[in-house]
Structure 1
Amino acid sequence: MHTHGHHAAHTHGHGHGMRSTPLLLALGLTLGYAAVEAVAGWWAGSLALLGDAGHMLTDSFALALAAFAAWLAARPSGPRLTYGLGRVESLAALANSVLMLVVVVAICWYAVGRLLAPQPVAGGTVTVVALIGLAVNLLAAWLLSRGGSDLNTRAALLHVMGDLLGSVAALASGIVIQWTGWMPIDPLLSMLICGLILASTLGLLRQVFNTLLDGAPESLSVQEVGHSMARVEGVTSIHDLHIWSLGASRIALSAHVVVTDAAQWPPVLVALQAHLAGHFGIDHCTLQPELPRSEPIVFRRTLERGNSRAPAPAPEAHPQGPKDSD
């Protein structure tokens, strides 16, 4: 028996279209300011400005890639790509995360060179340009924060947040140099920001790989979902439970549902469907009904509906009889 939330499927493409708009707006802001910052950084001799300009240029590519991925993900499924192109956004998030790591390594490399051979920096110019960049990056971050919580948008937001921190570092170094003349502050702050960005990027990479490897979303507990399904009226136990992400906010589930009476399956199915959609936001389900047999049980209905402890495994399985199919 296969159930699918048709309403979610129809609104999916519209949601992707809405998410691509903030990405394109942030792209325009980032590209425009990257050119201004590169010229000012070269003239002032500031590594913080030049590094931030290079970072923003790569972020422009990252935002363009994210917008393109959101557009692709909105395309309907086909005879071969039956789930559609939702995973393209995860692939774009992976590419952007790797690109971020390359930028971090490059900035750190140049920062070490500047520490070993300090060069004069025009603190006043750095301060003015960094203030403008701070405003631009704040606006871009605000736009992306309203664009969704999927991995693709979060990876793009991570790039913009890196730019925002870079502007803060450039502003701080400009003020320090202007007042004290201490040049090492420029590369030191650049390396500090790189460390913060690196930590965020590695965390995002872990989530991207979890999605690409069909891992259960971190927002859900497989144990909790299984035990709650087993407590639905008419369900004896649940086994072969799988939960994975189809991309963006779409979550899929498949499971074998053991029921006491096959004739009661239709109302049990409706109850499970409503329970999964209402409590966990899962509306793409594949549920296979089965009658009780000696196969090991994973999630079993308990006498106490509030009891969510995992049951002990059933006795060793005996040869199975004919299996109900959907």
Structure 2
Amino acid sequence: MAHDHHHHGHGGGAHVHGNTDKSRVLIAACLTGGFMFAEAIGGVLTGSLALLADAGHMMTDSVSLALAWYAFHLAGRAATARMTYGFDRVKTLVAYTNGLAVFVIGLWIVYEAWHRLSEPSPVLGGPMLVVALVGLLVNVAAFLALHGGDRDNLNMRGAILHVIGDLLGSVAALVAALVILLTGWVLIDPLLSVLVALLLFKSAWSLVREAGHLLLEGVPSSLDRDLIARDIEAHIDGVREVHHMHVWSLDGARNMATLHACLIEGADAHAAVSAIKRRLASEHGIEHATVEPEFGHCADLDHDHDHREHRTAAS
């Protein structure tokens, strides 16, 4: 069996990008966590659900962003004898957890809004407007810190999702404060909170679905396993058939593959394997591949036959 002996496709550019993303997430975590306390106090003093909902969201987000930062930190560690792929999968796991956390926050907002709609309570529009405006500026700063990060990385996307949720919460609180000041209609506060929750549900579902797909070793949405196999058969000399092909990704950015390449008699196995690896990297973005060259029939058929004979003898 031929292996790719490079360190799982890590390039200098990817390493630099990862360090930059790590710093961006840390800045966003500090901004979010720092303002959370002020917004919570403002929500209690003004009686605004929009502010309290956004403060609760920011509290969870500050923890989630800290976890996202730690995931980037772990991903920088080298692979070990037991963690042979390194720690990049931690970023996908954190992204999945962040998506679930946003669902919980949204449900809490809807629950509180239902109570507020049933029993309206007074809201101090003036102080609420000030707190919401400051919160909006803080969230814009956090969003700008993350905006230049790697959008293909699910961990970064999860972090951006949380900050966008905070940003929407601040906008909703700002609009609610203006409506209350101008009209005195306090029901706008819980109504806009529900709108923010619905927007969060949509984004969180997309993140959880994609992260879950990667955790289940599904083929990345940008790739087509069968088309890749046919492409290799069509363009690599000496390859008769490609089968037992698996394609997956650790974090949405690092794609990997394993496959059996059935070669025609007399073909140079080493040259064919090298050509397959080069084409996978250049045409399909798969930097790490394990290719098993075969002549004649698939070796797994012998394995399956031996396994069946063993089970028959044992019975």
TM > 0.5 between the two? yes
Partner of 1:244: 248
Partner of 1:195: 198
Secondary structure of the corresponding residue to residue 286 of structure 1: strand
State the distance in 1 between where 2:155 and 2:69 align. Answer: 9
State the distance in 1 between where 2:303 and 2:83 align. Answer: 37
Matched-pair contact (CA < 8 Å) for 2:129–2:178 = yes
Stretches of structure 1 lacking an aligned partner (at least 5 in a row) = 296-316, 322-326
Deviation sequence 1:220-239 (CA, Å, 0-9, x none)? 11122112111123121110
User: Does 2:119 align with 1:117?
Assistant: yes
Query: How far 1:6 sits from its partner (Å)?
Result: 4.3
Secondary structure of the corresponding residue to residue 8 of structure 1: coil
**Over aligned residue pairs, what C-alpha RMSD do you find?**
2.3
Q: 2:167 aligns with which of 142, 164, 168?
A: 164
State the distance in 1 between where 2:181 and 2:304 align. Answer: 81
Partner of 1:2: 3
Q: How does 1:55-134 map to 2 (within 5 A)?
A: 55-134=57-136
Identity %: 40
Deviation sequence 1:77-130 (CA, Å, 0-9, x none)? 111111111111112112222221211111111111111111111222222222
Deviation sequence 1:158-197 (CA, Å, 0-9, x none)? 1111101101111111111111111111000000110110
| More off after superposition, 80-89 vs 34-43 | 34-43
Stretches of structure 2 lacking an aligned partner (at least 5 in a row) = 306-315
State the distance in 2 between where 1:21 and 1:294 align. Answer: 48
Task: Tell me which amino acid in the other structure corresponds to 2:275.
Answer: A
Matched-pair contact (CA < 8 Å) for 2:22–2:69 = yes
Partner of 1:220: 223
Partner of 2:309: none
Partner of 1:26: 28
Q: How does 1:136-285 map to 2 (within 5 A)?
A: 136-149=138-151, 150-234=153-237, 235-247=239-251, 249-285=253-289
Task: Tell me which amino acid in the other structure corresponds to 2:180.
Answer: I
Query: How far 1:265 sits from its partner (Å)?
Result: 2.3
Matched-pair contact (CA < 8 Å) for 1:16–1:71 = no
Cα distance change of structure 1 residues 319 and 166 upon mapping to structure 2, 3 Å threshold: closer
State the distance in 1 between where 2:65 and 2:266 align. Answer: 52
| More off after superposition, 231-240 vs 75-84 | 231-240
| More off after superposition, 175-184 vs 221-230 | 221-230
State the distance in 2 between where 1:206 and 1:19 align. Answer: 23
State the distance in 2 between where 1:7 and 1:272 align. Answer: 16
State the distance in 1 between where 2:171 and 2:196 align. Answer: 9
State the distance in 2 between where 1:76 and 1:224 align. Answer: 33
Query: Matched residue pairs, number?
Result: 301
Partner of 1:135: 137
Cα distance change of structure 1 residues 34 and 172 upon mapping to structure 2, 3 Å threshold: same
| More off after superposition, 261-270 vs 179-188 | 261-270
Please, what TM-score do these two structures have when normalized by structure 1? 0.86
Cα distance change of structure 1 residues 169 and 280 upon mapping to structure 2, 3 Å threshold: same
Query: How far 1:248 sits from its partner (Å)?
Result: 5.0
Matched-pair contact (CA < 8 Å) for 1:52–1:163 = yes
State the distance in 2 between where 1:86 and 1:294 align. Answer: 32
State the distance in 1 between where 2:65 and 2:304 align. Answer: 54
Partner of 2:47: 45
Matched-pair contact (CA < 8 Å) for 1:293–1:320 = no
Larger fraction in helix: 2
Matched-pair contact (CA < 8 Å) for 2:75–2:90 = yes
State the distance in 1 between where 2:303 and 2:144 align. Answer: 60
Task: Tell me which amino acid in the other structure corresponds to 2:289.
Answer: C
State the distance in 1 between where 2:74 and 2:186 align. Answer: 46
Partner of 2:312: none
State the distance in 2 between where 1:127 and 1:224 align. Answer: 55
Matched-pair contact (CA < 8 Å) for 1:258–1:290 = yes
